[in-house]
Structure 1
Amino acid sequence: MATSNINQLLMRNIDGLSATRPLLVNIEDHGFITQYLNHYSKASIDSYHTNYAQYKAYQQLNNAKISAHFCVEYIAKHKHDMAIIHFPKSKAEFAFTLAMLANSMTEDATIVIVGENKGGVKSADKLGTDYLDYCNKADAARHCLMYIAKFKASLPSFDLQSFYKYYSIQVQDKTLKIAALPGVFSQNSLDIGTEVLLENLPEVINGKVLDFGCGAGVIAAYIGTVHPTTQLTLVDVSALALHSAQTTLSLNQLSGEYIASNSLSDVKNSYDFVISNPPFHQGVKTHYAATEQFLSEIKQNLSSKGSITVVANSFLKYLPIMEKAIGDTKTLIIKKGFAVYQCYLNTKK
């Protein structure tokens, strides 16, 4: 895999990244780990990931010097003298990350913040004022920036619940309560695509239902409310999304199974209904691969007469992928720039 611009920036500054117990926060490997340990052979690395795919990649390094963690809230067993943080795509998630890490660092710990210019990293110094004594630009290269910072002393303990955003939505005649952490899709309101999807679901939904790319759990919460006998399974690559979805379902007196998965990597069962507003953005760049992989492979997770209903921006060419991989696919509606596609297995057109 080609080395990312962010990791190239880190590697050219590696002589200034000395630490005994560094913490890497949502940093992709791309060869950085090997180079870091070549420079600092006595270091013991912890990596914290909100992205399951990144977490599994670190696990597969199979290096005793690295401990990888996938969770909504990182709590250090041993305090860290350095954190290298990938500036997140959500500015609110940056504050969440700083607040969470403050009590896991030594008093004199160095905080390194890296990110792409297009991803908003230029605002790191302003956004970090509540948590950081200083945040100084250290280097710029490959359309990326690096800052060196230090935490303020005596910051309050992290309170996960204080970062939740709560709101209500009205769909048809149902009112749902939604909870979402920073960086989770649909954090502030019901998005148009999901709204169009929920208006065009199958009239009868029963049995096992899979909400793929569940985000804050809006789709599963609606289906569970309208069709209370369904068995809900929610899948996402994000730890923040899965925690949000679980909170959303709980608020609506619902329960489900929650699976962290890189596309369908950890989805083993078959489902009668798959309903999805699949993701197509990753970071600051448009990224279709995960959804295309999902559509190409989902047939193996459909029951004999199962169905899949997805919504997508109408310019995305998902219909031919579904036709080839699953079967005859209908376009139910094109509305507000979104298309809803549906395919039933083993049924006549």
Structure 2
Amino acid sequence: MSLSNPTQLLLRNADLLKADAPLVVNCPDSGLISELVAINAHQNISCYNVNYAEHQALSKKFSALDCQFSAHYQSTQLHDLVIIYFPKSKKEFNFLLAMLTPIISDNGIILVVGENKGGVKSAAKLSKEHVVRCDKVDSARHCLLVEAIFNNQRREFNLDSWFEQFSVEIAATTITVASLPGVFSNGELDKGTRLLLENLPKSINGKVLDFGCGAGVIGSYVKKRYQGTNIEMLDVNALAIASAKRTLTLNGLEGKVFASDSLSNVSGQYNTVISNPPFHQGIKTNYHATESFLKGIKGHIAKNGSLTIVANNFLRYAPIIKAEIAEPQLLINSQGFAIHHCQKQ
């Protein structure tokens, strides 16, 4: 089994993993949990993941453990050890710390691990409000492990206070967007999504899927502009799902928002599929999710239904669309982005 570099760094410091009630946050590897189970035979171990695929993998393998997937981790017990895999953004790390401090026991230990280029070196500075000290423990494989001691200052966590809002106005249609830290395009509309919304098909009706919805910009905009559409949105990230639901509510719109690992929880067919698909996993470039989506979505597009996606223009998605669905049309290539559109025959 291949283990990530941060997990390998943790495992070579196994003496730090002994605890009465450990909590592991955003662990991508079952190998670490197996080691925790071996070290802590009582199995009073909890896992919290905002990534649905990682959550599913852990909850299926360790069904006896408390595994949570949500925008807000909650527990009735206090954890004497919290292991955090440093997230893709510093804002999200601050969010996680604020969320977790109410459930850390007095003088509890916080271990933070991550890749150097991912920002883990800033963990000490970012956590100073919540800890009495934060020290480097080990480094290897371009990763860093730090240990902090909780300062026992518990503050009530209010999820609502972490949403950022901004407005989007395109073609005389305006929506308000809410997004939590770590969600794509947090606090502002990205160029690719704006270009996509400016070049949508003239007519959209029926059942619509927003794949990789993020904060729900595309699905909410389509629902408001094209009245009568039935919107569904999916994402792999719990913070994105919470954001998309909030965006719908802010605009007085109705729609279905659900978690899915690519198309794992998708059923039925759609008249229109629209997406600004992800090509990053954490800080790394990863095309697998989008390529898997393009290869599998045909079965979920109704006859004469369409697919419209925006992508960086260096990404070679057009040949995949042609091979798997239909000959794509390049609607526009501008500002480093290309919009591909095809119709299933």
Please give the range of the TM-score, normalised by the shorter of the 2 chains.
over 0.9
Matches within 5 A, 1:22-37: 22-37=22-37
SS in 2 for 1:85: strand
1:30 Cα offset (Å): 4.3
Letter in 2 for 1:247: R
Whether 2:14 is the aligned partner of 1:14: answer yes
Distance 1:229 1:299 in 2: 23
- Code of the residue aligned with 1:107 in structure 2: it is D
Q: Aligned runs of 1:190-209 on 2, under 5 Å?
A: 190-209=189-208
TM-score, normalising length: structure 2: 0.98
2:202 alignment partner, SS class: coil
Report the counterpart of residue 341 of structure 1 in structure 2.
340
Which position in structure 2 is the counterpart of 1:83? 82
Q: Which amino acid aligns with 1:53?
A: A
Q: Which runs of 5+ in 2 are unaligned?
A: none
**What does 1:175-186 align with in structure 2 at a 5 Å threshold?**
175-186=174-185
TM-score, structure 1 as length reference:
0.97
Q: Which residue of 2 aligns with 1:225?
A: 224
Matches within 5 A, 1:220-259: 220-259=219-258
Kindly, what percent of the aligned residue pairs are identical?
A: 48
Q: What CA distance in whole angstroms lies between the structure 1 residues aligned with 2:248 and 2:37?
A: 43
CA offsets per residue over residues 104-154 of structure 1, 9 Å max, x none? 111121111111000000000111122222211111111111111122223
**What is the aligned partner in structure 1 of residue 210 from structure 2?**
211
Contact kept, 8 Å, 2:107 with 2:151, in 1: the verdict is no
User: Match of 1:206, SS?
Assistant: coil
> Which of 132-141 and 285-294 deviates more?
132-141
Matches within 5 A, 1:1-349: 1-64=1-64, 66-346=65-345
CA RMSD after TM alignment: 1.1
Matched letter for residue 38 of structure 2: N
Instruction: Supply the distance in 2 between the matched residues of 1:224 and 1:54 (Cα, whole angstroms).
Output: 30
Structure 1 residue 77: Cα displacement: 2.6
CA contact (8 A) 2:110 2:150 kept: yes
Equivalenced residues, count: 345
Check whether the contact 1:81–1:106 (CA below 8 A) recurs between aligned residues: yes
Structure 1 CA distance for aligned equivalents of residues 48 and 30 of structure 2: 16
Deviations 1:169-189 (A, max 9, x none): 221212211110000012121
Gaps of 5+ in 1: none
Separation in structure 2 between the aligned mates of residue 247 and residue 80 of structure 1, nearest angstrom? 30
SS at match of 1:31: helix
For 1:157 and 1:15, how far apart are their aligned partners in 2? 32
Contact kept, 8 Å, 1:2 with 1:30, in 2: the verdict is no
**For the residues of structure 2 that align with 1:302 and 1:46, how far apart are their CA atoms?**
39
Distance in 2 between residues matched to 1:63 and 1:8, nearest whole Å: 24
Q: Give the conservation status (yes or no) of the 8 Å contact 2:107–2:152.
A: no
